[in-house]
Structure 1
Amino acid sequence: MTPSATAPRMYRAGIVGCGAISRNHLEAFGALDNVQVVGVCDIDLDRARATAQDWDVPHAVNTVDEILALGVDIVSVCTPHPTHEEVVLKAAAAGVHVLCEKPIATRLGSAERMVAACEEAGVQFGALFQRRFWPAAQRIRSAIDDGTLGRPLMAQCSVMLHRAPEYYNRDAWRGTWENDGGGVLMTQAIHQIDLLQWYLGDVAEVYGKVNTYRHGGYIEVEDSATAVITFTSGAMATLEASTAVSPNLGIQLRITGETGASASLTEFPEGSDGRLDLWAVGERITVEPVHPEGVEPNVDLSTINGQLIPHHTSQVRDFVQALDAGTEPAITGKDALKSLRILLAVYESSRTGAPVRFAGSGASPGVDIPADVVTRVPAEAAG
């Protein structure tokens, strides 16, 4: 009789935070045969109970200690940004692996403590940047690695989005420096900043400006930003980001490599799968419309999150497979720390009016980003 293959390890997962994005984690874990969500947690116990009932989860609790006491192997952190550190540190101390929504923190010191705690505890720390799992995004990464594009020299990134006042007014923590940690850079463009550093590598210097043009009556943070980013390789990138756009123009990121070839990644409407709207290699240019006719440009947050579920699932599957293999997941807390450092440098540069130089980069003189920079309302945004 032939021995049966070893059954895959079963993992017990818990969800901390039952807000809108928790649906993506519940769907993603539910798509895996070797993961069972055994509990959900929220400071609003009624919301936790309703989520547990809707998703057939055995336990609903309202403290992190209670979710860890269920004997979970993995926790997904879906709480507001500044609360991530407490959850991650408690999970690490309990020997539990962590998947955390972006941004992992709003201050560098907090993020560094989270990364260090997971390393010391020997647990994996993954950060959700599901757009890296778009097939089009991975094709660009492959074109960099196989020499089709070669080493990137220049990049242009445009994040021009629509947000109505209701988006900020629905949750009291949104749009505040204390609880949101920032505006369009912290909450939306961080995904594209992650892609930029994934493609172009370590950053040497950031020069940026932020402002609040449209939403200043009900938010403290920036709704618009621009930046010039220089990388240690010598590559340069420009970034523009805004939630003051109507209608929504979506997101475009173009990379030009040392071979002279270029590729452009577009997300329009927001939340849809990224696609290659430009592939310019050799003597040929292949293009697709950036803004196809008849497409509704302004998409509600629920629809955006729902369309991203397949890519959440791909990343969660990668994380679980890494646990099985004893390797790091594709996107780690250290990767998330890089993106956070870049966007905080934009705030610091806007505040001081000087470029921010990254330690050890050999960049031109500027101001070093503080180790635990506190996001403050820049003078431009305050006006």
Structure 2
Amino acid sequence: MAPALRAAVIGCGNVAGNHADAYRDLPGVDLVACADVDPARAARFAGRYGAAASHPDDLFGLGLDLVSVCTPHPTHEAVVTRAAAHGVHVLCEKPIATELGAAARMVAACEAAGVTLGVAFQRRFWPAARRIRAAIDDGTLGVPVLGHTSVLLHRDTSYYTADAWRGTWEADGGGVLMTQAVHNVDLLQWYMGEAVEVTAAHAAFRHGAVIEVEDTAVATVRFASGGLATLAASTALTPGLGTRVLLTGRTGASAELAEYPEGSEARIDLWTVPGAETATTPFGTGLTADLPLSRINGALAPFHAQLIADFADAVRRGRRPAVTGREAAKSLAILTAAYASAAGGRPERVPTLNEEITA
């Protein structure tokens, strides 16, 4: 029997619990350490799992095989490249980075070191999300020609004031697009393929007094296939209306993936394939109070667990994980173009990771 993989979590905030729980429960993996720049938080978190508490500066001397990076967005590059230098495989929380150049350096460092880089887009593991992907692949929907994603959520002021870095360009990298909608942008490009141009606008309608980034954004996206899509995202709703991704393929069939309330397992809300079932319950029926963030993270834990099991298996077998660093950079490239378009008031070409790597 192969020895257990030695795993660690760096950054002991809310989402780190999903990673630690998955490692604890995964056969063939031992969670050996948890690290944070706050020693007290690292000690509390590590104590829940019987792991060693560590400072990030000391973590990579512990003989790790893999590490989950759950630190604030702009710190991902430094942690991932350091892990690569020590030969440690890395699973990074989304977004992979806040600017495409950083993502390129992360990918290049891991590829040069021969380590696996995966990114936590756990919503790809929803069974409904995979059913839509399969319907594209087998021709049931055909190549998507029209898409829409909406991310219509509630965040109150306390969400943004809980940590000093939240809602800032420097430390958060953006607002609703970068922090919440990136999951749906990832799904949209997974379904529709390479994005080539974005036109976008954004504003802070409700939270402008406490944040410097956007709480509301809209965009149109053009794809290399000729397909077109729209996006609407906001954290200014009370209550939130959840998220959705709607696609129409060349066959004329449509499918919609609906997540309501936020954090619940998404369902297929619309399925207009001839001869198959049609709509299920209407999206947003029976509005309820928003779930607290702790419950949202908890509801997503089973899909984090599937993603982490896939990542550990990829490390063992030397194969690609479900979401590689290169794949995760595609959603960041779309957001890069969206922010540039909003700033310049004109359409922007979507940059590519290879352009950044070879620059």
The TM-score with structure 2 as length reference comes to: 0.96
Is 1:255 the counterpart of 2:250? The answer is: no
SS in 2 for 1:281: coil
Which residue is 1:69 aligned to? 61
**Stretch deviating more after TM superposition (8-17 or 212-221):** 8-17
Which residue is 1:300 aligned to? 292
Is 1:14 the counterpart of 2:11? The answer is: no
SS in 2 for 1:286: coil
In structure 2, distance between residues paired with 1:126 and 1:243:
28
Give the deviation of 1:298 after TM superposition: 1.0
- Is the 1:42–1:61 contact (alpha carbons within 8 Å) kept by the matching residues of 2? yes
Divergent runs of 4+, >6 A: none
Which residue is 1:47 aligned to? 41
* C-alpha spacing 1:184/1:56, structure 2 compared with 1 (3 Å): same
Which residue is 1:167 aligned to? 159
**Kindly, what percent of the aligned residue pairs are identical?**
53
SS in 1 for 2:257: strand
Give the deviation of 1:183 after TM superposition: 0.2
- Structure 1: 5+ residue stretches without partners: 1-6, 361-369, 373-383
**1:162 partner amino acid:** H
Give the deviation of 1:135 after TM superposition: 0.1
Give the deviation of 1:371 after TM superposition: 5.5
SS in 2 for 1:302: helix
Is 1:226 the counterpart of 2:213? The answer is: no
CA RMSD in angstroms comes to 1.4
**1:251 partner amino acid:** T
Which residue is 2:87 aligned to? 95
- 1:224-268 deviations in Å (ceiling 9; x for gaps): 000000000000000000001111111111110111110000000
- Is the 1:249–1:297 contact (alpha carbons within 8 Å) kept by the matching residues of 2? no
Which residue is 1:207 aligned to? 199
How many equivalent pairs are there? Answer: 354
For the pair shown, the structure with the greater C-alpha radius of gyration is 1
Which residue is 1:322 aligned to? 314
* C-alpha spacing 1:128/1:359, structure 2 compared with 1 (3 Å): closer
Map 1:53-202 → 2, pairs under 5 A: 53-57=47-51, 59-63=52-56, 65-202=57-194
Give the deviation of 1:359 after TM superposition: 5.5
In structure 2, distance between residues paired with 1:213 and 1:359:
29
SS in 2 for 1:178: helix
In structure 2, distance between residues paired with 1:332 and 1:340:
13
- 1:33-74 deviations in Å (ceiling 9; x for gaps): 1101100100000111111112211x11112x4111110100
Give the deviation of 1:358 after TM superposition: 3.2
In structure 1, distance between residues paired with 2:187 and 2:27:
30
In structure 1, distance between residues paired with 2:289 and 2:202:
25
**2:40 partner amino acid:** D
- Structure 2: 5+ residue stretches without partners: none
Which residue is 2:230 aligned to? 238
SS in 1 for 2:177: helix
* C-alpha spacing 1:212/1:359, structure 2 compared with 1 (3 Å): closer
Give the deviation of 1:289 after TM superposition: 2.5
Give the deviation of 1:88 after TM superposition: 0.4
In structure 2, distance between residues paired with 1:96 and 1:266:
36
